[in-house]
Each structure stands twice: as C-alpha cells, then as structure tokens.
Amino acid sequence: MINLEIPKKFKPLVSQGNQVAREVFRPISRKYDEAEHSYPKELDMLASLIDGMNDGSDMGGAGAAGVRRESNGGDEGNRNGSNLSTVLGIIELCWGDVGLLLSMPRQGLGNSAIASVATEEQLEKYGGKWAAMAITEPEAGSDSAAIRTTADLSGDEYVLNGEKIFVTSGDRADLIVVWATLDRNVGRAAIKSFIVERDNPGLKLDRLEHKLGIRASDTANFTLQNCRVPKEALLGNPEIDTKAGFGGAMQTFDNTRPLVAAMAVGVARASLEETRKRLEEAGVEIDYDKPALTQHAAAARYLEMESDYEAAHLLTLQAAWMADNSKPNSLQASMAKAKAGRTCVDVALGCVELCGSLGYSENHLLEKWARDAKILDIFEGTQQIQLLIVARQLLGKTSSELR
C-alpha cells in the first residue's frame, strides 16, 4: 500500500531540491524569463553536481533524469524507487522555476524516453547525454497516431524524413528522440522512436519559438531531410506488432506524464505559498478548523484551490509509486497529468486574482508562474486527450470506438 508521507530515504533529496530551487533557480528566474533563448550558464555546475550524485547514489540527485520501470524481484513489499524519487525532486525544483528545470543539461524528457525502453547497450552508449523528445508535427499534435514523419530501412540504416515542432530543449540537447512511422498504412503499431544525434546533417533547425511561458527553455522546430541513423538507434522492438499498438512508445508516456504532473504540482505549490503570504499580510486568516463558508471569501477560495492541489499531488505520487512497484499505471499516469495540469492553471490564475495588482506585477513571480502553468496542461498530452484516455480505460473502449 502506498504511504502518503515522503519516504525517509528521500528526505535528503527533497531538501536538496528545495535548496537548489530557493538559492539557484529563484534568484535567476526573472533574468532568463526576460532573456529568452539565452542559455542559463549557471546550470552547468549544478548539472555536473547532480550527475555526480546520480553516479554515487542509488537515489540520484534532485534532477529530472530518466526513470526506468523495474521488477520487484518477487518482493511483495512497498518499493520506493527512481520514479518516486524523480517526481519528488521535480516538484521541489519546479517550485523554483519550471523553465530552468527544463533547461538543465542531461535532464530532458528524452532521457526518460530512453530510460523507459532502451536496451542495455543503448543505455551504455547514450548515457550521460542530454536528450530532447520530438513528437509533435504540424498535422499531428494531440493525436500522436497521426505522425507523418517516416523511417525507411535502407541497409543498416533508417532514413528519416518529416518535420517536428515544439521540441523542448531541441537546440541545446545532444540527442533528439524522434517519433516516426515505419509504415503509414499500418497506423499506430508502426510508430517507433529513434535516437538522432543533434549534429546529424539530416537534422536541420528551422527556428526557435517565442513563447508565453517557460521562456528560459528553448523550443525548437526541425526538418528531417534524408536523416540517416543506424539500425541500433531504434528504441525498443523494431517489429511491427498490430496487437501491441504503440508498445514501447506509449510506455514512454506512462513514465513521462507523472513527471510533467510533478512540474505542475511544483508550480501550483509555489503559487499557493506566495499567495498565502500576501493574504496574511493583508490580514486575511485561513483557518482549517472552520467551514470555508464562515471565512473571508479570499480564504474560502484559497482553501478550494489548496484542496485541488492536494488531490493532484497525491495522484502524481500514486502514478510514480505504481511504476516503481511494477503495476500498470497508464490510467493513473493520465489521471495525474490531467488533474495536475488543470489544477496548476486554475491555481496560478486564481492566485493572481486573489493578489490583485501584486499578482499582476512583474515585481513578483506570480504572473510568471501563471504564464508557465499553461504549457503544463498542454505538452505530453493535452487535458482533453488525457480525459479521453481515462474514459477509454474506464469504459474498456478502444481508440476507434471512443474518439
């Protein structure tokens, strides 16, 4: 059974993550929000420190490094592993700044994709490199099954052709995990992920996006023109199994969606804590022993947002804990992502509203968190897609039966 308290062995990691967020991320948060596309050099030393902690400890450092589903080895007890530790670390770091977390070297969502389905040989070859993930296309956004980027086998290489947009950390990363189809006529089952070196001559950078939020993180658009990669760059099984569907590709989402949910939880908590300070300064008391309807309207609204935050937090921990304990978590991963993404947006905007001019001013970070929040409800599967996945699983419907 899941324990709702932070495991004792992870408390140093949580403390470390909070310290990094407070002493490194928060002080430079506004600087890199305003200097979009400028690389935060302050993160290089921090990333090196986290790499050392990952190498010297089975818990790792407080980063967003890839996570891997592991077997319990027959142990029926409660296992708290890398999925939960990574989620806890991300929550703390995103309490500081989600854009800076996404800018940290070797801490990309592509690293989680590699860790989810890579072979031991691939893990050894690509370990220690920064990996971005390229899924979205101009005509394939929420519906990943509509991917048009192709991968054709030519001798000992795959030749990739297509276009990818909104690739987080795409310009700075060492590797790009590209989703492509082996056969457009087969549909979902033919979609695989491929590791492409950033300096591959067939991978051409088109532009960097200017964005509403997470401006510290670069977001790139690429064109793949006869981009050749070795056969060994395909992640997972190269065979097309129509019964397995997305197979390893969807397993990637089972691991990365709780990570994005954790980002949303961190931003929501930061907004709530800042708002509580401002309310107390204004003389508004929040009393947990009194019904909300008997308190100040601002206090009642705060309690409502905090309850949503707690639900999102627990769903996120549950999804990560299930992965650590070898339990199927596709449903829980989508529920966590849906709840946390929506809650983060509602809470951040609600906090701006409660704080009035202070919330809207650039003198405080509340307005920035409100801008950062929206992407957390969109990438890794939008709110609407997550709810559709949840409905399919609860009703036992296929994607063709419930669209």
Q: Just list the catalytic residues.
A: 380
What distance in Å separates the CA atoms of residue 110 and residue 67, rounded to the nearest whole number? 11
On whether the CB atoms of residues 255 and 116 are closer than 8 A, the answer is: yes
CA geometry: angle at 236 spanning 230 and 242, to 5°?
Answer: 115
Residues 324 and 329: their CA atoms lie apart, in Å, by 10
Phi, psi of 176 (to 5 degrees): -125, 125
What does each C-alpha distance from 227 to 125, 147, 159 come to in angstroms? 20, 17, 5
Q: What six digits make up the tokens of 370?
A: 């409100």
Q: Using alpha carbons, list the distances in angstroms from residue 220 to 175, 188, 290, 398.
A: 13, 25, 50, 33
Instruction: State the CB neighbour count (10 A cutoff) for residue 397.
Output: 13
The residue type of 396 is G
13: CB partners within 8 A, 6+ apart: 59, 60, 61, 62, 85, 88, 89
Q: Which helix (H) or strand (E) holds 229?
A: strand 219-230
DSSP summary character for residue 140: B
DSSP secondary structure of 310-350: HHHHHHHHHHHHHHHTT---HHHHHHHHHHHHHHHHHHHHH
- DSSP reduced 3-state for 178: strand
